[in-house]
Chains A and B, each alone.
Chain A
């Protein structure tokens, strides 16, 4: 699929509606394991959706089916990247909870939905509600811990997650342990926990593959392209055609400066799963390979897609701000958005986005302050260190700037397709003048 305004119209008009993507849906469940189709217990999300819709036509107050349909819609978004399911999920769960406020499954799924929409305060309260209804269930604790992490309430997130993993050590809890360890700067511990998550596995091949992609991304973020690619390839083996793994390989190709391959792979991912994250990454590869015009068009597409998400209730303030700051677009809007994000999810990533947006707007003192907040957990994120170094340079703190940019490149020499060259050039200039 060529990324053009015409295609965008088509995507919004058709692919991004409820009809979804048959080809991809067929890769879930039975087909993905090479099994004959139609195994009664091994069903794709489309089958679940059709079945539950049929049941609800017969009996609209079959509340179990209401919950299950909501869950299947959420899975569908995962498969085709179509946020227009979110309002439907919201309505289904709302009706289930009006019927029975003690419906633990509906409350848990509300938590999942609000997390997906980045409404983290709401997610926290749904998680708490579900946890109160069933203190022995593990998933509500996952919702709570995710929300606390996003809200920057890290001590609480660690405590909730400890409760979750003590109750039920499995793929869900191990993978969250990995993420918190990573945020706290413990990369070997993060890798170990993600390997435990992968070893534990799950009933759906896609879940296992997603966890492998997460491990690949930990490796990538620490500059280990070969190990990253091995995980992405393992995910493609375990769940053939997996879009997240395809995008992972694309990021490795971009880091290796094999741009035509990276473009081809990102396009393949976007054809199936047109989320802004991949479209932006594609635009960046166009930009660094000298195709400024296509890059600009691609960024416009990403911006249009982002508005599709916000129209369906997804809060993208932090993501929009970073995108705009990174690409020197709409800086006033970016600043307003990232300040809202600091109010709604004051976590270390938002603090870093605020720092970078302030840098772009020329407020270097404010930027440095925000940057210090981003470093409060000791996260070894190359982008954080690059941003800090650039800010310090503007403030004349050349020794610190040199140290931080050096650190960024030491953590991950491939940390940004857009900025790795600038990091090296800046470091070289600092070497002469520091």
Chain B
């Protein structure tokens, strides 16, 4: 739920970190926080693309914990030990998951007598497969669920430490060595990486502080996410193991879940001794296509979206066929965006585009999934070379056919709403005046260079210390 983006376009004004008022405690009356955000469980982006190096494999990347400011302390970012992180694949086209990769994390405190994150320069010891001097190592288990059959793939997988500054995790080259030691080969051609990365998303949220110009190459536009990090889970799997029965289209989304608990026992006075961890998972975040909450889910519908699944997404159909964003763009920028009957946007967000990334299943159920046709050839071996406008720029392996790290989804979706995707509709609509030029003025993630091999996402920014 990448909630910040496009908010300005929609005439709203929420900051990513809205403050969390709980009232003053003038008394013994306890006022616990009432927060609407849960960053550790907040799914920011999902990517799916054919591996540019090995075309027999597909890479799936999901990010959590928005806007991690590089920091030398006192607070450090980590996956939640109490959160179930999942990447779902629908390879049938029925809006249900048929393959689920699940990740659960465990943090250990090596020396409980200190708050310190590190006990000196961190190094990787290949003989013990551990990091030395890292006081808060986090490991994880990975499970694969396939049509009802769940099995543990691996346990005790390494995550790298956060980049916390020169004295602890070293310079950029040193940190890179540390991080790459946490690429785990879990057999059957599957690799996995989980840890802090540069946030590959780029967007100009200038509208939060000043009127946003989305009408093209705004001067002075700045990537609001410059210099901040996220936590990524990246997996590389053989296409053959995720391919469905009918075709090579996979629909991907990620979720996070937390354990609910019983307030009190039914008979009143005593609560159960266990919080029920691992038993009653409740989905608190969901994400497939980028910016879905800003572009097609109506205002106030985000909570419902996060609590439901792709099979429920017909509830948002009106938001897709008559997107509010088109009305706002027309009102503010006079771009003649078609406002109704947007069957082309149904293709982009809910079904896939026929002949490109739409499942061949004649009984397809629409749902918000990031759909990738794994048969589409890769255009660029180096992910830094992609045309940011993806499929709109005739690179068929770009968004909305899956999503590459360099795809400028903000501009693609703005242009799509103004009619750039009209031809995919039935009947085709008429594109608006700026269907090929709308944009937030930020064309790439200028603060980082993507890696040219798995996990592709760039190393995180380190605090200047």
Contacts and interface: CB of A to CB of B under 8 A. Distances in A.
Interface stretch (B26-34, B184-192, B396-404): B26-34
A265 interface: no
Contact of A74 (B13, B23, B69, B262): B23
Interface stretch (B38-46, B330-338, B350-358): B38-46
A68 B35 contact: no
Nearest to A195: B275
A133 B264 CA distance: 28
Nearest to B24: A77
Given A169-B259, A177-B261, A200-B80, A78 B21 contact: yes
A304 to B, nearest CB: 14
B24 A78 contact: yes
B52 interface: no
Interface centre among B28, B35, B273, B303 (most CB of A within 10 A): B35
B300 A55 contact: no
Nearest to A117: B23
Contacts of B275: 192-193, 196
Interface string A158-181: 100110011111111011110111
Contact of A169 (B37, B70, B282, B304): B282
A172 B34 contact: yes
B25 interface: yes
Interface stretch (B71-79, B91-99, B153-161, B420-428): B71-79
A41 B21 contact: no
Contacts of B72: 34
Interface string A237-263: 110100010000000000000000000
A368 interface: no
A51 B209 contact: yes
DSSP class of B's interface residues: helix, strand, loop or mixed?
A: loop
Interface string B54-93: 0000000000001101111111000011100000000000
Contacts of B28: 277, 319, 349
A221 B72 CA distance: 35
Contacts of A237: 74, 115
A227 interface: no
A120 B274 CA distance: 32
A65 B18 CA distance: 12
Contacts of A51: 209
Contact of A35 (B24, B26, B33, B463): B463
Interface string B270-304: 11111100000010100000000000000010011
Contacts of B16: 41-42
Given A71-B18, A171-B35, A180-B264, A34 B27 contact: no
Contact of B269 (A75, A146, A185, A203): A185
Contacts of A171: 33, 35, 38
Contact of A165 (B25, B261, B464): B261
A103 to B, nearest CB: 10
A26 interface: no
Contact of B27 (A207, A238, A318): A318
Interface stretch (A137-145, A329-337, A359-367): A137-145
A184 B269 contact: yes
Nearest to A72: B19
Interface string A302-332: 0000100100001010110000000000000
B258 interface: yes
A39 B209 CA distance: 12
B12 A207 contact: no
A53 B336 CA distance: 33
Contacts of B304: 136
Interface residues of B, number: 73
B307 interface: yes
B19 A33 contact: no
A202 interface: yes
B29 A186 contact: no
Contact of B261 (A196, A234, A275): A196
Interface string A191-205: 011001101111111
Interface string A44-77: 0100100110010000001011001001111101
A112 B31 CA distance: 9
Interface string B104-115: 000000000001
A40 B19 CA distance: 14
B19 A71 contact: yes
B224 interface: yes
Given A41-B15, A136-B304, A203 B24 contact: no
B264 A176 contact: no
Interface string B434-463: 000000000000000000000000000001
B178 to A, nearest CB: 21
A118 interface: yes
* Most chain A CB within a 10 A radius of its CB, from B261, B273, B284: B261
A40 B205 contact: yes
A211 B35 CA distance: 12
B173 interface: no
A200 B80 CA distance: 7
B263 A161 contact: yes
Contact of A142 (B12, B25, B34): B34
Contacts of B39: 201-203
Nearest to B268: A184
A134 B303 contact: yes
A83 interface: yes
A66 to B, nearest CB: 10
B13 A55 contact: yes
A188 interface: yes
B240 interface: no
A156 to B, nearest CB: 12
A265 to B, nearest CB: 17
A415 interface: no
B260 interface: yes
Given A202-B20, A203-B17, A33 B33 contact: no
B224 A41 contact: yes
Given A36-B464, A142-B34, A169-B282, 6 more contacts: A51-B209, A83-B24, A133-B300, A200-B40, A203-B35, A207-B22
5 contacts: A64-B13, A75-B21, A161-B263, A196-B259, A200-B258
